[in-house]
A and B are shown apart, each in its own frame.
Chain A
Amino acid sequence: MEQEKQIRKSQKAISMSKATKERLAKVALELKGKELFPQKVEQAKRTLSKIKSLPI
């Protein structure tokens, strides 16, 4: 039962240090408004291009 709960719940996460928060804030400014993985999006569009319907 305990194991079952463990799987379904999110994994316990490491809290962020002040330095990490500052670093991520800086990166967030650089990435703001950008599409992060345009090539992956194109790959997905190509792969799914012939799919007309989804299951269910």
Chain B
Amino acid sequence: MNNINAYKFQVLNKDSLSTQFIFESKGERTIVKAIEYSFIRNISGRKVYNLGFGDFNEKNGMLIDDINSNNGDMRKVFNTVLNTIPKFFALNNEAAIWVQGSDSAEDFRAKCEIKCKKKCDEICKNHNRRIKAYKYYVDKNFVQLSKEYIFFGFTSGKNPDFVQYIPNSEYIGILVYKKK
């Protein structure tokens, strides 16, 4: 039985503005994928970094973060992304990681409607799909993860803000700190 659950990754860059990793996904196709923690801004004296993730297109040199590659190895890829989090915190112990899917943007629905074949009514079925994958993992492992990390959920609506993370609640983003 294959118990190997993630790909090895390579560090591409590590400085105060970004930490980058690349790895090769070997599913139906081989795809180079990239992970980037990008400095957003200082808030309350803490550096906040955005977690970005996507496929590298070797034909045109572009990175794509808004498609599902359906390569048949989603769990391994997801685990690989998660494996970079301790590496990031080892370099940036006091930082916070901000996680939000590209499909959580305010204008996502309008863009989705142009090419989507699903006939959604009020609620766009593709909206917030990526953050739901992260939320599913956090919810499932919340007790164990809480020993090392502190989570906050980001609410949507007129006055969006951070709230204490409660498993199985709806959030459009997640903020993660490493416990001291």
Listed in ascending order, the chain A residues whose CB lies under 8 Å from chain B are: 4, 7-8, 10-16, 20-21, 23-24, 27-28, 30-33, 35-37, 39-41, 43-48, 50-56
Contact surface of B with A, Cβ cutoff 8 Å: 3-10, 12-13, 18, 20, 22-24, 26, 30, 32, 34, 36, 38, 40-41, 43-44, 46, 48, 50, 52-54, 56, 58, 61, 63, 65, 76, 79-80, 82-83, 86, 96, 98, 100, 102, 104-106, 141, 144-145, 147-148, 150, 152, 154, 160-164, 172-173, 175, 177
- Ordered by A's residue number, 12 sampled pairs between the chains whose C-beta atoms are within 8 Å are A11-B6, A11-B79, A12-B3, A13-B4, A14-B26, A28-B22, A35-B38, A37-B63, A37-B65, A41-B40, A43-B105, A46-B106
Cα–Cα distance between A33 and B150 once the two chains are bound (Å): 31
**Which of B9, B34, B98, B147 is within 8 Å of A36, CB to CB?**
B34
Pick the contact of A31: B24, B34, B102 (CB < 8 A). B34
Which listed residue (B32, B147, B154) contacts A8, Cβ 8 A?
A: B147
- Determine if B20 and A13 form an interchain contact, defined as CB atoms under 8 angstroms apart: no
Given known A13-B8, A30-B61, A31-B20, contact A54–B43 (CB-CB < 8 A): yes
How many A-B residue contacts, CB cutoff 8 Å?
140
From known contacts A4-B144, A10-B6, infer whether A40 and B38 are also in contact, taking CB-CB under 8 Å: yes
Report B-chain residues with C-beta under 8 Å of the C-beta of A55: 152, 162-164, 175
Partner of B48, one of A12, A13, A27, A54: A54
